[in-house]
Amino acid sequence: MPIYEFQCPSCGAMAEMVLPPGDSGETGPACPVCKAPKTTKVLSAHAQARLAPRAAGTTCCGSQERCQEPPCSQGGSCRRG
């Protein structure tokens, strides 16, 4: 099941929540901190890294050099991205 990040407009709390398949989370669940009725879905840091444009010749995470750990060091996908 996908994990989404939500922010409460009332108290500002951030929370990660697992939603069932098919639930996009556009109308967020209640805040787990202050119990406000609705939270707002935010773009996670992981999603931002995946959506950010990359310069030519860089790894998937934007580094100029490959990681020293497999699979990146063996030509696979980068674990930092």
Report pLDDT for 64.
Answer: 65
Mean pLDDT for the chain overall: 70
Within 10 angstroms of residue 55's Cβ, the number of other Cβ atoms is: 7
Is residue 26 within 8 Å of residue 41, measured between CB atoms?
Answer: yes
Q: What's residue 81's pLDDT?
A: 46
Q: Rounded CA gap, 45 and 1, in Å?
A: 18
pTM of the model: 0.49
pLDDT at 27 over 90: no
Structure tokens at 9: 């407009």
Task: Give the other-Cβ count within 10 Å of 8's Cβ.
Answer: 21
Mean pLDDT of 29-51: 76
